Amino acid sequence: MPKPKVFVTRKMPEAILNLLRAECEVSVYAHDEPPVPRAQLLREAHDAHGLYTMLTEQIDAELFDAAPNLKVVSQMAVGYDNIDTQEATKRKIPIGHTPGVLTDTTADFAFTLLMAAGRRVVEGMDYIRQGRWQTWIPFELTGSDIHGATLGLLGMGRIGSAVAKRARGFDMRVIYYDVMPNVPQVEGAERVSLDEVLAQSDFVSVHVPLTPETHHIINADTLKQMKRTAVLVNTSRGPTVDAMALYDALKNGTIAYAALDVTEPEPLPADHPLLTLPNCTVTPHIASASVATRMSMAKLAVANLLAGLKGERLPNCANPEVYQ
């Protein structure tokens, strides 16, 4: 019996590919970047029974039309806003994703950005590189204390909860807002309105999924509600923050600092205005980028893919209604 055909949309470690090759005929777009060209994606999908995708691929009706044999899409990410899940469900195609395994690593990095921004670590490195460090100056590069500060979380899912847990170790007051009404209460954290989070927080950290309701949840108006000394951290999705509104707010002193691991657009062009600001730290979407976590994500994506090819329920399915 011939093996099912699988297309992998990015170069992966051989150990991961070998897990697939044991049971599948595997084709790989063997590049780090740029993302697989659309025409090639549609061409490869035509004969594929399974797709192993990244956030950079648009999985929509056009692709499903081009892939008459497709049984499953498995994405190596917790998010899946690049995939039309309603269309997939209509066509009985389960969508796999990789939640859970990256929670603690991402929360670690969100807190890394929070601390680096609050204490102006990147500015300090630039200060030395520019040859400006001539002596110790009592009030040079003073930042914000982390301990005892108020942390406002937008979103109290897995990652938001993990960040709240870390904040308790720094004796921070934790408040949060969530668009979902039935989020469980988190120990040591107080649920408040969005307006209260913005007005009271010394640090605002974004952990919401990208939906129509959360698109540009941080915008010119919400930035004006924040403290002038506030620090904004975003490790969720780039479009939750209006990049140009943030640029204006940072340049004009509406807020003090921002630290972003995700951006709009992504990748952020090297000549983007945000990168000209000393009070904005940007990293290239690496919040989950520990060796152990990325390997766990990759293996979970393999497990989802192989289950779908066998007609079994996916271990982590983004559209479970497909099984109804």
Please confirm, yes or no, whether 87 is among the known catalytic residues: no
CA distance 282 to 233: 10
Residue 81 dihedral angles phi and psi, to the nearest 5°: -70, -10
Q: Please pick, among 266, 272, 294, 321, the residue that the annotation labels catalytic.
A: 266
Q: Please pick, among 10, 49, 97, 237, the residue that the annotation labels catalytic.
A: 237
Please confirm, yes or no, whether 207 is among the known catalytic residues: no
Q: Please pick, among 49, 97, 285, 294, the residue that the annotation labels catalytic.
A: 285
Which sign, positive or negative, has the C-alpha torsion 188, 193, 194, 198?
Answer: negative
Please confirm, yes or no, whether 272 is among the known catalytic residues: no
Distances (CA, A) of 7 to 31, 59, 189, 322: 13, 13, 44, 22
Q: How far apart are the first and last CA of the chain?
A: 29
Residue 277 dihedral angles phi and psi, to the nearest 5°: -95, 130
- As annotated, the active-site residues are 237, 266, 285
